Amino acid sequence: MTSTFPDISISTERLVLRPFEEADVPALTEMMNDELVTAWTSVPHPYTTRDAREWALRIAPAERTSGRGIVFAVAEFLTQRLVGIVHLSNTDWRVLATEISYVTAHWARGEGYASESALAVARWLFQDQKFERLELRTAADNTASQQVAQKIGCISEGVLRHAWIARTQTEDGGWTDLRTDVIVWSLLPEDLQGVHGGPTEVESFSDYSPYTDWN
């Protein structure tokens, strides 16, 4: 039987990490059309409302129910405004290891939201789910993502040469593929010792209506 993560919400001092809702679709569409998201991820461009609805209501829930991982919509605690995504994927239930990725809305950058949400997920993963390894991969020139990795205590393990396709904008405003190296980072439970961050609370989300299929 395939193992799955529980259907939960994680709260920090400023954020709530929860399943996606229909109401998130407009903000998700805007967030994923940002130039940096286009450059460093493989999402479609332009990113349409249909793409956002497919991701939020079908693909994201299926990551959890299939056992592949779990997707959190990251929202401000007070305003409920969508500020980002944290995604656990490629989960190996025998090894108890998974891979983390994150996206932050353009207007929310510089507030520490990415590191706060990633750290909350890491603590939940190690303390509640008893995982042993969290892996992160960043493009060699994506310094912002690397700073988040360092801030939450990740250790750089090495470089995968020419292992990712990023995108760069052309003079006419279009986009072209650009092959790049990838830095592999890891986080183990003992690496969290001494890492500062607000306390997290985990609660069940049993009142959430089930989603249909995903990814």
What's the rounded mean pLDDT across residues 128-143? 97
Angstrom distance (rounded) from CA 79 to CA 139: 32
Compute the distance between CA of residue 147 and CA of residue 45 in angstroms, rounded to an integer: 26
Residue appearing with tokens 């052309």: 170
Average pLDDT over residues 84-113: 97
What is the predicted pLDDT for the residue at 203?
44
SS3 1: coil
- Cα angle 98, 103, 21; round to 5: 90
Rounded mean pLDDT, 80-109: 97
> Does the bond joining 46 to the residue before it have cis omega, within 30 degrees of 0?
yes
| Residue 199: band (very low, low, confident or very high) from pLDDT cuts 50, 70, 90 | very low
Region 145-170: what's the mean pLDDT? 96
Cα(first)–Cα(last) distance of the chain, in Å? 19
> In the structure encoding, which two tokens stand for residue 152, read together?
């939450």
Partners of 136 in beta bridges: 100, 185
Reported confidence tier of residue 15, pLDDT bands at 50, 70, 90: very high
Q: How confident is the model at residue 193 (pLDDT cuts 50, 70, 90)?
A: confident
Task: Say how many residues make up the chain.
Answer: 215
- Over residues 132-147, the mean pLDDT reads 96
* Over residues 154-174, mean pLDDT: 95
Q: Please report the pLDDT score of residue 173 as a whole number.
A: 86
Q: What angle do CA 100, 105, 109 make, to 5 degrees?
A: 90
Would you say 100 and 71 are in contact if contact means Cβ atoms under 8 Å apart? no
Res 197: pLDDT: 57
Mean pLDDT for 49-72 is: 97
Hey, which residues does 169 pair with through a beta bridge?
175
pLDDT at 202: 47
For residue 191, pLDDT over 70 is answered with yes
More confident residue, 199 or 179: 179
Rg of the chain taking only CA atoms, in angstroms: 17
pLDDT at residue number 2: 63
pLDDT at 195 over 80: no
Tokens of 188: 């183990």
In this prediction the pTM is 0.89
* Angle between the N-to-C axes of helices 113-127 and 143-151, in degrees from 0 to 180, rounded to the nearest 10: 50
Query: In this predicted structure, what is the pLDDT of residue 118?
Result: 98
